[in-house]
Amino acid sequence: MTRKVCVVVTARPSYSRIRTALQAIDRHADLELQLVVAASALLERYGNAIEAIERDGFTPVERVYMVLDGENLVTSAKSTGLGLLEMPTVFDKLKPDVVVTVADRYETLATAVAASYMNIPVAHVQGGEVTGSIDEKVRHAVTKLSNLHLVSTAQARERVIRLGEPPDTVVLTGCPSIDIAAEVAARPALDFDPFRKYGGVGATADLSGGYLVVMQHPVTTEYDEARRQIDETLYAVKDVGVPVLWFWPNVDAGSDGTSKGIRVFREREQPGRFHFFRNMFPEDFLRLLCGASAIVGNSSVAIRECSFLGVPAVNIGSRQTGRERGRNVIDVEHDRGAIAEAIREHGRRGRPAPDHLYGDGRAGARVAECLATAALTIEKRLTY
């Protein structure tokens, strides 16, 4: 009997993390894909990920609007509540055999709680990892709500088992986002003009002599520091003196401070080498990274995909604290001098060797096969 798999995509990075698994589920003879797109993945100001989803040939069966404006602690909590109100209606209509939720965002928690209370098995992708901020609490809470764990690294698998989950429910698949990185690594040349294809705001600099990619999100537990933190990064990369391609932050508490800092800097400094983008298709973004002198900020793409691609990364602050990292990462605090020096240090070191810490490029197929063959049950044989 065909198993109905409901995958909930809630944000721009979530789609990149799960795309190849969606493709494998859609092709699998024993699976029926039910794709639900929700939250910031539907919003233009956060990259309009729905465009990339539909461009790739997926048709969402439901869209769930659940993000309250304000980008602070109150609206994050209330958006989680809205998701918990809306998701049960969706699941009741679709009647899936399993719900798949991705990583550690607040929308992920709403998805897992709703499915659990409706006695629907939950499969969690990217559990067991350690990071800073509230993300780790959410991730581990979703682990305890889940029945099947599709993890990215060996350490993550061990950690989920130590949390009390039965070992036979914890499968090391690798990270599906590495599948896209593997495709790009086979053909890494920048074969498009990012300014012409994606528009954006700012100078259209010559990229042939090197450039920086910057992606910095607010840290929920430090949301009142977001403005100061983004200023340190803005002035650090300005001082390095090469073109800067800057990507807009996620919708999180503190995003308003981050966004305001970017706008004020843009108006005050009139930077001639900066260009600001909202989003790119995943493979285009990774090709842009392949040609970059470094990625700067606190996005997990610097830790995950860039380790596989051998892209130098300057990781700033606490957002990725504890996450396994490869040889491509230099960690610094929110200090403009330290950030600029780390960028220059990467220039002296040269390109790091690729690292397969997060996968080998075949995770999507493994995820689909696990969803097709796992003995899904809502009962949990705890191993405390």
What pLDDT score was predicted for residue 377?
Answer: 80
Q: How many CA atoms lie within 13 A of 383 on its CB side?
A: 13
What pLDDT score was predicted for residue 124?
Answer: 98
Side chain identity at residue 366, one-letter code:
R
Side chain identity at residue 122, one-letter code:
V
List b or e across 126-157, with b for residues whose CB sees 16 or more CB atoms inside 10 angstroms: bbbbbbbbbbbebbbebbbbbbbbbbbbeebb
What pLDDT score was predicted for residue 135?
Answer: 85
What pLDDT score was predicted for residue 45?
Answer: 76
Cα–Cα distance measured from residue 379 to residue 384, given in angstroms and rounded to the nearest whole number:
15
CA 307, 309, 315, 321 torsion: positive or negative?
negative
Q: Which residue has the tokens 């055999």?
A: 97
What pLDDT score was predicted for residue 355?
Answer: 94
Domains defined along the chain, listed by start: 3-175+359-373 (3.40.50.2000), 188-349 (3.40.50.2000)
What pLDDT score was predicted for residue 380?
Answer: 62
- Kindly give the interhelix angle for 282-290 and 12-27, rounded to the nearest 10 degrees: 120
Q: What is the pTM of this model?
A: 0.90
Six token digits for residue 341: 């020096």
Q: How many CA atoms lie within 13 A of 136 on its CB side?
A: 16
The tens-digit pLDDT sequence of the chain (384 residues) is 899 999 999 988 899 899 999 999 999 999 999 999 999 999 887 778 899 999 999 999 999 999 998 778 898 899 999 999 999 999 999 999 999 999 998 889 999 999 999 999 999 999 999 987 788 899 999 999 999 999 999 999 999 999 999 999 999 999 999 999 999 999 999 999 999 999 999 989 999 999 999 999 999 889 889 999 999 999 999 999 999 999 998 877 778 889 999 999 999 999 999 999 998 999 999 999 999 999 999 999 999 999 999 999 999 999 999 999 999 999 999 999 999 999 999 999 999 999 999 999 999 999 999 999 999 887 665 555
Distance set, CA 355 to CA 183, 304, 351, 372 (Å): 15, 9, 12, 30
